[in-house]
Amino acid sequence: MIRFRLIAAFSIAPLLMCLAASQAQAQIPDTFENLQVLPENISKQELMQIMRKFAGDLGVRCSHCHEGPDNLQGMDFATDEKPAKKVARSMMKMVDAINDKHLAGVETGRELRVEVTCQTCHSGLNVPRTIDGLIADRLKSDGIESARALYRDLREQHFGSAAYDFSSKPLNTLAERVARGGQVDEGLALIDLNIEFHPEDGYTRILQGGILMSAGKRDQAIAAFEKALEIDPENGWARQQLERIRGAGEK
Ligand code: HEC
Ligand code: HEC
């Protein structure tokens, strides 16, 4: 028995949306013709809560999955014409399976049960991707300048939302991987971008120092490790690297 749960229904429909919602509600039929996952006798109100949550969790409009205009006038909700609607149905079954089959039997020792929702993976994105995955793809297809431009665009559009991790971590991970793979200049260019947004992140400077050393750029590496120490005078790793480089230079 597949039962799609109404999760966190209370989190939607803030007051401001009520007017727009009641206008939109007028375009929604009172009976449904093509429900294959949701219960056939679901109320209009419950269905709408689920649909609005889908739209919010994926950052899309109703017309992403349903055939018709953005204002819902004359929209054919029952047809399965749009591929996204069919994907969404598979996703609903997947989410039910995760919660009912897999998570239900997990022993955590806690009373609290955490359930997976569309938001768990999608975080407001139609196609859930990590930021480093997207930047890596762009680097491969169009080169470093385009990859850097994409990062800036995404940051401008999504900073403050749950969509992407804009901490220093993803770019550092990617920079390290790219540099190890032989693209040292590209790795350093990603580090420079990261420093622009996280100038006080000591680990980024240490990574920069390491990549510079491996590229034989000793003086620049020293400057990077010195900056790491300036940011965090207690940083033993930066101090050790500096002593090592300077010691080797004196021999
Ligand atoms: C991510 C895709 C997606 C989005 C976005 C979406 N829907 Fe749906 N909708 C579905 C799926 C899938 C079904 C069918 C569910 C089933 O088979 O049980 C459905 C069913 C419906 C139905 C019932 C149609 C019928 O007669 O069978 C209505 C009405 C509806 N949606 C309205 C909306 C409205 C209004 C919005 C915007 C607030 C919306 N949907 C946003 C995927 C979506
Ligand atoms: C376990 C993670 C996960 C959960 C939970 C999840 N999705 Fe997805 N969804 C994905 C991934 C990954 C893709 C991209 C697949 C690809 O493009 O190869 C995707 C793709 C989609 C797409 C197609 C996007 C496009 O235009 O190509 C739709 C629509 C969608 N999901 C709807 C939903 C809905 C609705 C829910 C909740 C009922 C949901 N998903 C829950 C992981 C998830």
Alpha carbon distance 131, 156 (integer Å)? 13
Closest ligand to 102 CA?
A: 2
Q: How far apart are CA 143 and CA 135, in angstroms?
A: 10
User: How confident is the prediction for the chain on average, in pLDDT?
Assistant: 91
The tokens for 182 are 């032989």
Say if ligand 1 is within 6 A of residue 50 CB. Answer: no
User: Residue 126 CA: which ligand is closest?
Assistant: 2
- The sign one gets for the Cα dihedral 109, 112, 115, 121 is negative
- Does 250 or 166 have the greater pLDDT score? 166
User: Is the C-beta atom of 85 inside 6 A of ligand 1?
Assistant: yes
Amino acid identity, residue 2? I
Closest residue by Cα to residue 151 from 101, 121, 192: 192
pLDDT at 9: 45
Which atom of ligand 1 is closest in space to residue 60's alpha carbon? Answer: 5
Spatial CB neighbours of 147, under 8 Å, sequence gap ≥ 6: 135, 136, 138, 139, 186, 190
Q: What is the mean pLDDT of residues 192-203?
A: 98
Q: Determine whether the shortest distance from the Cβ of 84 to ligand 2 is under 6 A.
A: yes
Question: How far apart, in Å, are the Cα atoms of 192 and each of 201, 202, 204, 207?
Answer: 12, 13, 9, 11
- Provide φ and ψ at 51, rounded to 5°: -65, -40
Give the long-range contacts of residues 44-52, CB within 8 A, separation 24 or more. Answer: 46/6, 46/9, 48/21, 49/6, 49/9, 49/12, 49/13, 50/4, 50/6, 50/9, 52/12, 52/13, 52/21
Degrees, nearest 5: CA angle 53-59-62: 65
Is the pLDDT score of 71 beyond 60?
yes
Which one of 25, 43, 65 would you pick to mutate in the ligand 1 pocket, going by the greatest count of ligand atoms within 8 A of its CB? 65
139-169 pLDDT per residue, tens: 999 999 999 999 999 999 999 999 999 999 9
Rounded CA separation 39/16 (Å):
29
Cβ of 23 less than 6 Å from ligand 1: no
- Least Cα distance to 178 among 137, 206, 209, 146 occurs for 137
Ligand 1 contacts CB of residue 25 (under 6 A): no
The CA 62 to ligand 1 mean position distance, Å, reads: 7
Burial 232-249 (b: 16+ CB within 10 A, else e): beebebbeebbeebeeee
pLDDT at 4: 60
What pLDDT is attached to residue 166? Answer: 98
**Residue 111 pLDDT grade (very low, low, confident, very high; cuts 50, 70, 90):** confident
Q: How far is the CA of 66 from the centre of ligand 1 (A)?
A: 7
Give the pLDDT score at 10. 47
pLDDT score for 99: 96
Whether the predicted pLDDT of 3 surpasses 70 = no
Q: What is the pLDDT of residues 75-89, one digit of tens each?
A: 999 999 999 999 999
pLDDT of 233: 95
- Residues of the chain with pLDDT > 90, as a percent, come to 80
User: pLDDT band for position 8 (50/70/90)?
Assistant: very low
Contact 55, 62 (CB under 8 A): yes
CB of 50 closer than 6 A to ligand 2?
no
pLDDT exceeds cutoff 70 at 39: yes
Residue 248 reports pLDDT greater than 80: no
| pLDDT score recorded for residue 20 | 58
Distance (Å) of CA 40 to CA 34, 97, 154:
8, 19, 40
Whose alpha carbon is nearest atom 32 of ligand 2?
88
Percent of the chain with pLDDT over 70: 89
